[in-house]
Amino acid sequence: MKKMVLGVILGVSLSVSVNAITPIRFYKNLCKREEIGTVKTYWANQLNGDILRNRGDKIIIEKCIGTVLNANKDGRIMNPHKKGYDYISYRSVKGAKTGDTILSVFIYEPGGNDVDEIVDRFDYVIDRG
């Protein structure tokens, strides 16, 4: 079975069989490794700046649900952490159309303390408009 190195995080190399992994499962597998720390998942309305600034070695995963508003793929988050912080761009989401509902998953840099250190993003169309 062919193995592939997916990445090195905090000095730990993670390799898997080529056909045996999805992007989210990659991060879930990290929590099984002592060297990485823990993985904490939050919905957007649960996550705040204090959690992000004090994450230590935790991998923070944020999930938000939004809607594509127009042909430019501007969007609105349905579960923002704070009123007025509901804008999201879906320009990178292939095939997204006005009215689609999208689940976005953001992975924050472990060991960082900035609120905008997103190292990975995954978008899934969960309902067509």
pLDDT in tens, 63-110: 999 999 999 999 999 999 988 999 999 999 999 999 999 999 999 988
pLDDT in tens, 35-64: 556 788 899 999 999 999 998 888 899 999
Q: Please, what sign has the CA dihedral across residues 111, 113, 117, 121?
A: positive
- Residue 32 pLDDT > 80: no
Answer yes or no: are the C-beta atoms of 96 and 90 closer than 8 Å.
yes
Distance CA 103, CA 26 (A): 18
CA atoms in the 13 A half-sphere facing the CB of 73 = 12
